[in-house]
Amino acid sequence: MKRIKRLGMIAIVIMLTCFVAFAQAVPEFNTLTQVQPYDYAKSGEIVKSEDMGAEMVTIKIAATSDIHGRLYPWDYAIDAMDSDAGYSLTYGVVQELRQDYPDLLLIDIGDIVQDNSSELFNDLDTHPMIQAMNTMKYDVWVPGNHEFNFGLDFLERNFDHFDGRVVCSNIIEKNTMDPFVLPCQIYVIHGVRVAVIGGIAPHVPLWEGSAPEHFQGLDFTDPIQAVKNTVDSIDGQYDVLVAAMHMSRHGEYEYANKGGVFNLAEEVPELDIIFAGHEHATYCDQVNDTWVLEPGKYGSQVATGEIHLAKKNGNWMIKEVMAENIDTKGRDTDPEIMEDYAWVDEKARMEANTVIGEITDAFLPEGVDYITGENNVTTMARAQVEDTAVVDLINTVQKYYAKADVSSAALFQSDSTLNKGDFKKKDVAFIYKYNNTLMGVNISGKNLLEYMEWSASFYNTAKPGDITVSFNPDIRGYNYDMFAGINYKIDVSKEPGHRIVEAKINGMSIDPMKTYKLALNNYRFGTLQSNGWITSDDIYYDSYQENQLTPEVRQLIIKYVNDKLNGKLSPVCDHNWMLIGMDKEFNNPKGLEKIRKGMISIPKSEDGRTYNVKAVNIADL
């Protein structure tokens, strides 16, 4: 197991001892037939402080999450400053904390090496994001789901080169039932034993479904049960118990409302504090008397926990636990990070500003915001209310290269657009955020319609008097697909599952028994496969297999503009879909004007990531 060579034989003993109980269980870990104690003292605990004579101790912990390729406070997709992003800002907070707490325990909770042009450096022996973590002396890295985007060789290489410990309790190797990485690690700080247990949202096989080699030989199990098993195995061997979990508050898919960090706090009351990631949310709440907090995205906050302990009869007793998120906006960047990684910024900016063509006219001259007409979304994204040239471009490219009847695409960033002028690589990243590849699959008309209904559940059901349409807060914008090659209507007055109206391909109603060719990205392939609408046998095109050097949809957009459009890109929209079923008060002029003036505000989702989660009604006026 080359990924854990750097841990040495001591760490292997940790893994085998800490996880031996899991080998007795089924892959889902629904049962625990035997718990073997985790003997950290014989397995090589990490001593962060030699001072063991104090009667009262304060343990300080800091955590970041979902940095997504951000070293500098810069968004290379739009080539502009992002004033609350990047390790160069979070490290300033960490340095301040270390002045008072030199034994600070520093954790990152995943999604480090994807996005923001970080893929430019994937071929390096050690990714600069991992180098930076070593510079900042991270103790723990909990892998996120996006760490698996680039294959196991890439991931294991960076695991090997990380100076701290990679910790995750719910990834196991199928053949041996051994843990993929350390389930937990115990640190000794001033004589206090602090156990850190990691976990990840178990849906990597879904999200990476089109590239099973990215998780080959691995099982992703129930994270809460895995934490329970690990806690049982270290019973009596810790004084402070910490969970660092790359998963949302309430869970997703089959784990919805039972597999999130809030559920973990209820199910495992032994935990003293839980640091979370994955949701890109900022919160700090107490659940079952346990602090649960997440530091947002990109480095906008640093999550911190402070645990006060006193010695009683020779044992450490926790007196108080405090938690907070510390904002990074407005802080100075750390000079060490800025100097050491200037080469990363320089290369990323140069790549982002490479001219690849010309945009002849603005793609959304009316503005990306449907109500205000501005070029930032504050009410609702125009592209999620009506067909636009931006989404049509993506679907046109996908449909062309997959030689498909139909294509589906989502708007990954609500304010995505293209403006007149040079067409640069950063513009492609702006309208297509992720490094997805393209796939072509055969799908029955019946399942195609079910997929369309699944997508249309993005909208809340319209009510009498609504002057706006609104979006389901539980569905991310990147899970709302719009289709090309089909003329269709979405009746938002109907309940989910019954909304697609007059769906026709080439003027003919979709035949449930007929097979159609569908172009979609590899991420959505996993969704359709999970829902039983397609299987791997239905794949007839895979851009990764066709050209491993440039398989991404981004690269195909560039190729299409150069090869088919001779470098000149003009907005084209076929208006093949529309919303229907709105009340006669829809787009009421007085109501819209009050929204524009800020007299009426449109609510966001709890985590702030989804705009427009409740319709404005005429009664609100």
CATH class of segment(s) 2-344? alpha beta
Between 405 and 621, name the one with better pLDDT.
Answer: 405
What is the residue-averaged pLDDT of the chain? 91
Q: Residues 406-444: pLDDT tens digits?
A: 999 999 989 999 999 999 999 999 999 888 999 999 999
Angle at 202 between CA 197 and CA 204, to 5 degrees: 120
- Res. 35 pLDDT band, cuts 50 70 90: very low
Which pLDDT value is given to residue 606?
80
Q: Helical H runs in 365-498?
A: 389-402, 425-431, 445-456
**Collapsing DSSP states into helix, strand and coil, what is residue 307?**
strand
Tell me the pLDDT band of 27, cut-offs 50, 70 and 90.
very low
Work out the average pLDDT over 400-406: 98
User: Are the C-beta atoms of 519 and 398 separated by less than 8 Å?
Assistant: yes
State pLDDT tens for residues 370-385: 999 999 999 999 999 9
pLDDT digits (tens, 9 = 90+) for 332-364: 999 999 999 999 999 999 999 999 999 999 999
Cα 256–258–261 angle (5° rounding)? 100
Once rounded to an integer, what is the mean pLDDT over residues 385-413?
Answer: 97
* pLDDT surpasses 90 at 53: no
Closest CA to 78 of 397, 551, 394, 418: 418
Among 35-49, 84-98, 101-115, the range scoring the smallest mean pLDDT is: 35-49
Phi-psi category of residue 74: left, alpha or beta, with phi > 0 → left and psi -120 to 50 → alpha: beta
Separation CA 605–CA 583 (nearest Å): 23
Residues forming CATH 3.60.21.10 domain(s) in the chain: 2-344
What pLDDT, on the 0 to 100 scale, is given for residue 78? 85
**pLDDT at position 548:** 66
Q: What is 355-620's CATH topology?
A: 5'-nucleotidase;  domain 2 (3.90.780)
Is residue 40's pLDDT more than 90? no
Instruction: Reduce the DSSP state of residue 568 to 3 states and report it.
Output: strand
pLDDT at 272: 98
With cut-offs at 50, 70 and 90, classify the pLDDT of residue 49.
confident
Task: Read off φ and ψ for residue 158, nearest 5 degrees.
Answer: -75, -30
Considering the chain, tell me which residue range(s) the CATH 3.90.780.10 domain(s) occupy.
355-620
Helix, strand, coil % over all residues of the chain, rounded to 5: 30, 25, 45
DSSP label at residue 26: -
Least confident stretch, 77-91, 518-532, 541-555: 541-555
